A and B are shown apart, each in its own frame.
Chain A
């Protein structure tokens, strides 16, 4: 979206520009429709409660989407997401902000590709990592 990020711009420890989202019940309904994830725990409070959950919860896959967006926004149009691993550890509730964050853990060149490994996670208001993961991206070089 902004200026292109290059391999040379990144060092280990570089922070990925965070992305703040405020999922509402409306967004969960739209996401259920768009993703065909019609599990009622995302829109039917009674069903969610009877399943032992604290209320309707944000789709794990919507959090996947946020974690990938934080990366695609950061790596720009010439960057390429090669791999992402995400664990759904904690539940998030609609009406509460979710911040997607990440840091660079390693940079290296392999088979002519400029690769960056990152840690990524979604964070709730208490600072808990509800969906941690790792990602591998390729960046263009200035050279």
Chain B
């Protein structure tokens, strides 16, 4: 087992608000996203497809970590819960935090698993979606 790459600084970030992002659900955003995933369902002109929360409202593939991490990144998957449909015109706010670190030896060498949670609310403060995702850094 290689030495742990989890530092005290990293531990200090656990369960703290990491950042807060805001999205206005606009027509163009909905259209571009539906075109990219090639889902022609006309419903998504007015409503946010749930898979937007697994994509555009997930943080980008290259996350700005507030600490040093191994350089290579894979998306390990995640779980999403949906409470209320988000609609055109809504403003969504996501609050993110890291909740757990795990380490494993695998095919790609020493792998660090960073598990993060995000909670999304709308402009009325209603809970819209929750996410728990794993990034694999190696």
Interface status of A109 (Cβ within 8 A of chain B): no
Verify A38–B62 contact, CB threshold 8 A.
yes
CB of A142 within 8 Å of the partner chain: no
Is A42 in contact with B61, judged by CB distance below 8 angstroms? Answer: yes
In-complex Cβ contact of A36 among B51, B56, B81 (8 A) = B56
Nearest CB in chain A to that of B47: its residue: A77
In the bound complex, residues from chain B placing their C-beta under 8 Å from that of A61 are 54-55, 58, 61, 75
B1 interfacial by beta-carbon distance below 8 Å: no
Are A39 and B56 in touch, CB under 8 angstroms? no
- For chains A and B in complex, what number of residue pairs have CB atoms within 8 angstroms? 118
Question: Quick check: is B76 within 8 A (CB to CB) of the other chain?
Answer: yes
Within 8-38 of A, Cβ neighbours of B (below 8 Å) are at: 21, 27, 30-38
Is the pair A82, B82 in contact by a Cβ cutoff of 8 Å? yes
A138 CB, min distance to chain B CBs, angstroms: 10
What are 25 inter-chain pairs, A to B, with CB distance below 8 A?
A: A21-B38, A27-B38, A30-B35, A31-B36, A35-B60, A37-B60, A39-B61, A60-B77, A61-B58, A62-B37, A62-B55, A64-B55, A65-B51, A68-B49, A68-B50, A69-B49, A69-B51, A80-B82, A81-B82, A82-B81, A83-B81, A84-B79, A85-B78, A86-B54, A88-B75
User: CB within 8 Å of B: which residues of A?
Assistant: 1, 21, 27, 30-39, 42, 51-52, 59-62, 64-69, 72-73, 77, 80-88, 131, 133
